[in-house]
Structure 1
């Protein structure tokens, strides 16, 4: 099994890129600790939440995520709810569902050193 964090996202406009089944998504889910599946508006997404120390720490976190997203050419939906709740939804907009790209990006986000930004207990 390849390490997802070491992979590179495929171009989202690739003709052979298709949304994966929920079963396939569940199989990959074990490789991205802390993430869960969410169906919203009929679209299967990866979702994760964190509690940060402050509003500005949430923005710092988003900056780190943005750097990875730009490097991969794959962009998540970022939400800063209230003053310290960070939520990220991943899905491949061009196919209307999940692809391996979403799991690759989730693994790369998981590898970020963000402990200094988080409250002691993180939300799931």
Structure 2
């Protein structure tokens, strides 16, 4: 057998092996995606149950990312900064870094999710509960939304 014909035979075998490998990878990928969708559906159901443990927080979906969201109205701009500092101290102690926003002069908004996985984990709900446990009443405007 000549060198070109041997290379052609090797090349044909390589194509067959690559095709088989590709089919296995896609089959594994399909199974993994199905399991991920099932896990997400299960987690979303659990997320709604756990959400009841953190009153005032809402589940939101931003660009396919599930987040916990809550907003408050504070008395003044300076009270808003104090509010954010108290939350930042708790978040830092937890090793968590939520998105903190002071919008306008008196609207505090917080979004919590785990950046590493692009969604929610148990730690997000724990942080939300700890934020709920902070003594923030002296900073808030008393409105029906804050009660």
TM-score class, shorter? 0.7 to 0.9
Instruction: Decide which structure has the larger Cα Rg and report it.
Output: 2
Q: TM-score w.r.t. structure 1 length? A: 0.82
1:86 to 94, 99, 108: 108
Query: How many Å apart are 1:21 and its aligned residue?
Result: 2.1
When structure 1 is superposed on structure 2, of 113-122 and 51-60 the one drifting more is 113-122
Point out 4+ residue stretches in structure 1 off by more than 3 angstroms: none
Paired residue for 1:104, among 106, 121, 126? 126
User: Which structure's residues are more often helix, by fraction?
Assistant: 2
Instruction: Structure 2: state its 5+ residue gaps.
Output: 1-38
Superposition TM-score, scaled by structure 2 size: 0.69
Give SS of 1:121's match: coil
Higher relative contact order (CA 8 A, sep 6+): 1
The CA RMSD over aligned residues, in Å, is 1.7
Match of 1:51 among 59, 68, 73: 73
CA distance in 2, matches of 1:123, 1:63: 22
> Corresponding residue for 1:31?
53
